[in-house]
Chains A and B, each alone.
Chain A
Amino acid sequence: MILTKEQQALLDGEQGETMAKVVKTLVMYGEAFGAERMVPITSQYGHTVISFGIGVMKPVYELYDQLLAAGAVSKQPFSADPRPLDKNIPSSLLQNIVFKFMYSQQAHYENQLRQLGLMDKNAYTCACYLPQAGNVPKRGEILSWAESSAVVYANSVLGAKCNRNSGIIELMGSIAGFVPEFGLLTDDGRRADWIVEVRTSKLPDAQLLGSAVGMKVLEKVPYVRGLDQWLGKELSEDACAYLKDFGAACASNGSVGLYHIEGLTPEAVEAGESIIRENAPVYVVDDAELERVRQSYPCIWQDLDATPKLCFMGCPHMTLSQLKDWTVRVEKGLQAAGNKKVLIPTVFTSAPGVVKEFNRTAYAARLRATGVILSTICPLMYMNNPLSKKMPVITSSNKLRTYSSARFYSEEEILAKITKEGK
């Protein structure tokens, strides 16, 4: 890799041993992918995936102490993934003890994040790119982000440029102010490797389609045909919410960092089919294929017929339009079933900025009246312990399903379960 004089000086220790190690880490990272140079980060804000003060992750906090001691802080303010805990979410006494033990480093870690450059005391969401969250990169900007669902959204829907960086590496990029140029930062790396033909009878569940695509193409870039017939040709609020959920499933069930949607996402609109590589293989997704994928999901509940004790919606965090839409859907579902409150304790999760705006609307009181709890936490952080693992929890999130014992249902099924069936 060819470094500028300034970058070489950092590597040689001009700003101390710790900064030299930060740059060495980034150089080795780039060299593993054949990067020939570093490029400056051009976005206003960064985003870190590590937001949780889990006691056992002491090595991460020690590393961050080293960075802080050396004055190696982020050159740009950044947002972070959601906080792990919320007292409003139902939990047993034992679970509360476990949470206290698990997240014993939360206050210490949040203090580290503030010192490293957190953009706001409430900048905790996986959907930092939502307008209300305030970290919306512009097309073509180069980012040093981690959080798979945010990276894939920024690349695909917003047309920004970011590799699937790991936690810690993303912060090191923001500290140095530059990142190695490879993969999704290059024009060639953004070309489509696969064609996905959607031939379903109706708009597929976003999280199910994303899962199917992620499992098929893994880390490759898919070009998806057939969705625009339902999503339209504009990146409307509804289309963006769909793509948010689709992308999160692609990224967690596989490792997709960028997708193109024919007629809809910016690079697909601009380049059309010329963005597809020659001889790209074709994956056809029809109703039968989605059912096959769905049936392949293991369920590790001890009792497969157990009555769900909790339902999580909002992984990744829900948009404002999703919160409003779901308020209406839950109300209508309850009314049709002759019920007043949801039959399964249900939590919707969203970004603090979105919740703040939602709470200013008339929908907030209506949602509360249905019994749904609105929170800003990360559902995965609630699920990641042996007690929660034993709980029969249901979700519409394919990401949460992948990382926990939560059982996946489509949005329509979830609605029926919480408003009508109760099991």
Chain B
Amino acid sequence: MSRVFKGRVITPGETTAPALVSHGGLNTLASYQMALMFGDKQVKCGDQNNPDLYKKPMLGKALCLPETIGSTTGGMVLYTACAMGKQPACMLFSKPIDSLAASGAILAANWTNAVMPVVDSLGEEFLDYVKDGMTISVSLDGTVTVDG
């Protein structure tokens, strides 16, 4: 069974990847700092305050979340992850995007060769429906298809 959600494109791209779902805000610095600094190949989430993601690999996943929270290094961390090829396959926000996640996505789009589609405003229903491991396809126009 598949369901289709339509959001707003922040940075365009197409991808298909398994879902990784955070129901709480993603603290970008807390999630990425250790993995990036010490070369964790799977980029496991280091945020002990996020029970949905803690210790789970984030590399190449379709990261589904409401928003990002925390330190204003957040956008810089996402940019760095993208420049190092350690980014998620895409970031899919149920809410309108926050300033830190937007910064990271836009910096990556303009200053790196990485492609990380980012779509926001997918609605609460999207986060209620999607579960870890479901297959997600993202289209250029912000259409997100969830299979599983």
Contacts and interface: CB of A to CB of B under 8 A. Distances in A.
Nearest to B81: A59
Contact of B71 (A148, A298, A405): A148
Q: Bin the interface of chain B by size.
A: 35 or more
Nearest to A18: B111
A322 interface: no
Interface string B72-106: 11111001100110000000000001111011101
Interface string B108-130: 01111000000000000000000
Interface in B43-94: 48-49, 67-76, 79-80, 83-84
B47 to A, nearest CB: 8
B73 A49 contact: yes
Interface in A135-152: 146-148, 151
B102 A29 contact: yes
B31 to A, nearest CB: 10
Interface in A356-396: 384-386, 389
B71 A183 contact: no
A25 B48 contact: no
Interface in A1-58: 21, 24-25, 28-29, 32-33, 49-50, 54, 56-57
Contacts of B48: 298, 300, 405
Contacts of B19: none
A54 B37 contact: yes
A148 B69 CA distance: 10
Contact of B103 (A102, A169, A389): A169
A219 interface: yes
A54 B99 CA distance: 24
Nearest to A169: B103
Given A49-B72, A219-B98, A402-B27, A166 B104 contact: yes
Contacts of A50: 73, 76
Interface residues of A, number: 46
Contact of A255 (B38, B83, B100): B100
Contacts of B36: 56
B33 A164 contact: no
Contacts of A254: 25, 69
A209 B109 CA distance: 38
A18 B9 CA distance: 25
13 contacts: A32-B10, A32-B97, A50-B73, A56-B36, A148-B70, A165-B103, A218-B69, A219-B69, A251-B70, A252-B70, A252-B71, A255-B69, A389-B34
Interface of A: 21, 24-25, 28-29, 32-33, 49-50, 54, 56-57, 59-60, 63, 102, 146-148, 151, 163-170, 183, 218-219, 251-255, 297-298, 300, 384-386, 389, 402-403, 405
Interface of B: 10, 25, 27, 29-30, 33-34, 36-39, 48-49, 67-76, 79-80, 83-84, 97-100, 102-104, 106-107, 109-112
